[in-house]
Structure 1
Amino acid sequence: MSAAAITDEIAGIALRRHGGRGWWILFAMSLALTVMLAGGIVVLLVRGVGIWGIDMPVAWSFAITNYVWWIGIGMAGTFISAALHLTRQGWRSALSRHAEAMTLCALAVSGLFPVLHLGRPWFAYWIMPYPDKMGLWPQWRSALTWDFFAIGTYVVVSALYFYVGQLPDLAAVRDRATTRGRQVFYALLALGWRGEAADWRRHATLTRLLAALAVPLVFSVHSMVALDFSEGLLPGWHSTIFPPFFVAGALFSGIAMVILLSLAMRRAYGLGRYITDVHLDKLAKLMLAAGCVVTYGYAAEVFTAYYGGDPFETAVIAHRLHGAYAWTFWSTVALNSVAIQALWWPAARRNRLVLVLVSAGVLAGMWLERFMLIVTSLYRDYLPSSWGMFYPTLWDIVFLLGSIGLFGLLFLLFVRWLPVLAIAELRRTEALR
């Protein structure tokens, strides 16, 4: 295809007068779930976190599970784009833009849950290191304070990386807009991009710099999330394997989401010439590699507990394998470790139905894994008098489904108003063929 044809096709998606029937159906569903989430937040602020099923000893459950799950999904998007950019992989051009958008949408959703879980969310600013007359400072040894710095930095770098990469594409959409309102809208977003040599030189330098910052941040952010658990002394959490294990799990679930979104956009907008079977095959290989690391983490956790001989650690592992929540452990293994073995075969990696089923299973399995890690370490304490089960309430389900709706709403708005693929990079890749 010519460069002009590529630009016209991708820019035309953002310049359509209507999003299409499928887009409006998904938008209505996502909006309904988001309104449901907003209603749940209002009820939570009025009545408190008691509307959830949390109680003693299970004081963490769906909210923290959702937080870790969504922030994990948000890790892979920027990593795929930035790491492939630094290694000069041309095939990233068909995936980078919506992967980066996925990161920002997932981070926006994940940020809600730690604040809401406080019970008094209006005091969330206490974790920020601001000077005050009382001399009250955050607890610097707390992983929650580290989370603030790590996640805040990652959000800023990811947003800048996403926006800077969009500049030449926004200018292309601006030049093809036919209404005055759209011309002004995209002109403001393009920041006066003219496509001169100096523009491209500065753009390339800044993009490489932001990519170099984003890649290590991917590892640091989810390592900090893992330290929220491993810094505690509870059996089942106090483990040094958690940081790399959480990073691998984050990339695992994030790649699965990228595959699902890539397949959806390829089907909805006829982007098969850009998002090809080769791209899906490579994403499936990445997901398989991350899944093997996650599977190693499961095996290492069980092995080290029994090899170490700590009775409390072995008791937690026994509860995970045979206790009341054993179904979560075995479902996690089935979805995250067994199902992905189909991806060893090239035919399975290029079969869209297989990819949808495996990727959706991975997302469900990673949510179950976070739920299992949290609840099975809490529901059996050292004394039988401290034992207790967790039973989710309707509001737990509302917040989970509402978070999915909010993610879908944000991503659909991105698809509707911004270029879904990297136009400038696709043109460059096509020119080099």
Structure 2
Amino acid sequence: MASISTSHQDITAEIPGTRAPLVTGNNTYQSVTDRVCYLAEKPTVPVAYYIALGVSMLLLVNLVACIGYLLTTGVGVWGNMSPVFWGWPIVNFVFWVGIGHAGTLISAILFLFRQNWRTGINRAAEAMTIFAVMCAGVFPGIHIGRVWVVYWLFPLPNTMLLWPQFRSPLLWDVFAVSTYATVSLLFWYMGMIPDLATFRDRAQNRIRQVAFSILSLGWTGSARAWSRYEKAYLLLAALATPLVLSVHTIVSFDFAVSQLPGWHTTIFPPYFVAGAIFSGFAMVVTLLVPARKLCALEDIITVRHLENMCKIMLATGMMVGYAYGMEFFMAWYSGNPYEQFAFINRAFGPYWWAYWTMIGCNVISPQFFWFKWCRTTPWFMVIICIFINIGMWFERFVITITSLSRDFLPSSWGYFQPTIIDWLMLIGSFGLFFTLFLLFCRFLPVVAMAEVKSVMKPEDDTAASDHA
């Protein structure tokens, strides 16, 4: 690993079993460094970046204003009502937690399986995970109504002898999501340490030198440092891998452990995990296609990376479609009239429009990825991925709202209608997400330079050793 920072031989690294290059063009180790550092070191950035950041920050201000209005007025500003007490805040929470799954899967699971194609995209995916979990964490906090007593969710000693209900999956969420966020943050930061040292060594002003010196934790690039780094990275990857399965499984328990028709089903844990990976990869593609253009990284984040992610979306999309079908089959096979009504009502009841939007976006649109042109045309991928994310949000809407709006007793039925505050907070959460991601692209390494170089193979070992 120590030779990575010194050799400048032209390379063409390939994905095992294929002839498609991971890094294209006449790239050297030095050119990879220059490309990744380009946006962070340049005094001015393209106008498109400022436009995107300005729009995102406006949406973020809108989110902050809506939260302030909610705290001063009360949860009545939402459309939540009897019997739909879980409205859009919980829908948004489950949606954003799902978005965060692709980053850990790309970084940890593909790393353990030695899939070298992950190296060009894992850093951005990890960052996306952190930002999505931050967006998700906003909604349970404000959904409780009295935010100033949110600490009651935690098992803290108090004079009122109030303790959380440890048998409630809502409390399991607190521990699962916080653990996932902590491990993902450590994994993301630790992977950046060698690249932050590169930023430190290339810094042109004192402020950047001091900042990156602190963040790189005194990284020297010695053989001992690399050895310890790789061992620690492997351990964190092994620790993060089960979290991919456990976190959204526990989120699904919020619904599955209840007795409500449409929720009380054992298919929810694998169904939610597949859907989370499905939506997470769609968001990664949505972000990376414009980011690779903005940061001039087309030779590092290649079409092959995007095509592989499309294949994963195709596989997980078919799993999600299978789960949709199995839900109807089990409702019929159970002979339970309440379950049968719940699923018939989803497809043909008052919310039929939401259900068929979900089917069209999640089941039909991924089928385009069977065709190579669709998997290798970036602008078309983005369109499909946007539809997938819309469909995955509607999936959470259908699960939450349709089941609650038609309970056991017709006397408790109701029709949920979102308010303008619901809409503005949903849109504002995207402002928070995109603002954080754009700032990440501007100030931190978007691509894991050290990992990309580690899979690059010098064509001429003799020439490579001469440069060392």
Fold agreement, TM-score > 0.5: yes
From the CA coordinates, give the structure whose radius of gyration is larger: 2
1:127 touches 1:144 (CA, 8 Å); kept in 2? Answer: no
Deviation at 1:386, TM superposition (A): 1.0
The equivalent of 2:280 in structure 1 is 254
The equivalent of 2:107 in structure 1 is 81
Identity, % of aligned pairs? 47
How far apart are the structure 2 equivalents of 1:405 and 1:2? 37
Deviation at 1:20, TM superposition (A): 2.3
Q: Identify which of 131, 139, 147 aligns with 2:165.
A: 139
Question: Which is further off, 408-417 or 423-432?
Answer: 423-432
2:131 touches 2:437 (CA, 8 Å); kept in 1? Answer: yes
How far apart are the structure 2 equivalents of 1:331 and 1:105? 27
How far apart are the structure 1 equivalents of 2:333 and 2:174? 36
The equivalent of 1:353 in structure 2 is 379
Q: Identify which of 274, 289, 313 aligns with 1:287.
A: 313
Question: Which is further off, 15-24 or 227-236?
Answer: 15-24
Please tell me whether residue 45 in structure 1 is matched to residue 71 in structure 2.
yes
Secondary structure (helix, strand or coil) at the match of 1:234 reads coil
How far apart are the structure 1 equivalents of 2:60 and 2:352? 32
Secondary structure (helix, strand or coil) at the match of 2:100 reads helix
The equivalent of 2:303 in structure 1 is 277
CA offset digits 1:94-124 (Å, max 9, x no partner): 0000000000000011000011010111222
The equivalent of 1:207 in structure 2 is 233
Deviation at 1:321, TM superposition (A): 1.1
TM-score w.r.t. structure 2 length? 0.91
TM-score w.r.t. structure 1 length? 0.98
CA RMSD after TM alignment? 1.1
Please tell me whether residue 59 in structure 1 is matched to residue 85 in structure 2.
yes
Q: Identify which of 455, 458, 463 aligns with 1:429.
A: 455
What does 1:394-405 align with in structure 2 at a 5 Å threshold?
A: 394-405=420-431
CA offset digits 1:160-192 (Å, max 9, x no partner): 000000000000011111111111111111111
The equivalent of 2:242 in structure 1 is 216
- What stretches of structure 1 move > 4 A for 4+ residues in a row? none
The one-letter amino acid of 2:101's match is: M
Deviation at 1:139, TM superposition (A): 0.6
What does 1:317-328 align with in structure 2 at a 5 Å threshold?
A: 317-328=343-354
The one-letter amino acid of 2:38's match is: G
Deviation at 1:372, TM superposition (A): 0.6
Q: Identify which of 125, 137, 142 aligns with 1:99.
A: 125
How far apart are the structure 1 equivalents of 2:405 and 2:430? 27
How far apart are the structure 2 equivalents of 1:353 and 1:162? 28
CA offset digits 1:13-62 (Å, max 9, x no partner): 21121232111111111111111110000110011110011100111121
How far apart are the structure 2 equivalents of 1:106 and 1:211? 19
How far apart are the structure 1 equivalents of 2:294 and 2:122? 18
The equivalent of 2:362 in structure 1 is 336
How far apart are the structure 2 equivalents of 1:65 and 1:134? 32
How far apart are the structure 2 equivalents of 1:422 and 1:313? 48
How far apart are the structure 2 equivalents of 1:86 and 1:384? 52
Q: Identify which of 184, 196, 220 aligns with 2:222.
A: 196
The equivalent of 1:185 in structure 2 is 211
How far apart are the structure 2 equivalents of 1:222 and 1:432? 42
Question: Which is further off, 160-169 or 54-63?
Answer: 54-63
The one-letter amino acid of 2:212's match is: Y
How far apart are the structure 2 equivalents of 1:370 and 1:420? 30
The equivalent of 1:381 in structure 2 is 407
Deviation at 1:268, TM superposition (A): 1.3
**Unmatched 5+ residue regions in structure 1?**
none
Q: Identify which of 45, 62, 67 aligns with 1:36.
A: 62
2:36 touches 2:297 (CA, 8 Å); kept in 1? Answer: no
1:40 touches 1:395 (CA, 8 Å); kept in 2? Answer: yes
Secondary structure (helix, strand or coil) at the match of 1:430 reads coil
Deviation at 1:432, TM superposition (A): 5.7
How far apart are the structure 2 equivalents of 1:123 and 1:143? 19
Secondary structure (helix, strand or coil) at the match of 2:403 reads coil
Please tell me whether residue 122 in structure 1 is matched to residue 148 in structure 2.
yes
How far apart are the structure 1 equivalents of 2:176 and 2:442? 31
2:120 touches 2:452 (CA, 8 Å); kept in 1? Answer: yes
The equivalent of 1:162 in structure 2 is 188
Deviation at 1:134, TM superposition (A): 4.2
Question: Which is further off, 211-220 or 345-354?
Answer: 345-354
How far apart are the structure 1 equivalents of 2:39 and 2:447? 10
How far apart are the structure 1 equivalents of 2:241 and 2:226? 22
1:78 touches 1:103 (CA, 8 Å); kept in 2? Answer: yes
How far apart are the structure 1 equivalents of 2:363 and 2:94? 20
The one-letter amino acid of 2:329's match is: F
How far apart are the structure 2 equivalents of 1:372 and 1:133? 41
The equivalent of 1:370 in structure 2 is 396
Q: Identify which of 443, 457, 465 aligns with 1:417.
A: 443
The equivalent of 2:3 in structure 1 is none
2:80 touches 2:86 (CA, 8 Å); kept in 1? Answer: yes
How far apart are the structure 2 equivalents of 1:321 and 1:11? 50
Question: Which is further off, 271-280 or 63-72?
Answer: 271-280
Number of residue pairs the alignment of both structures matches: 433
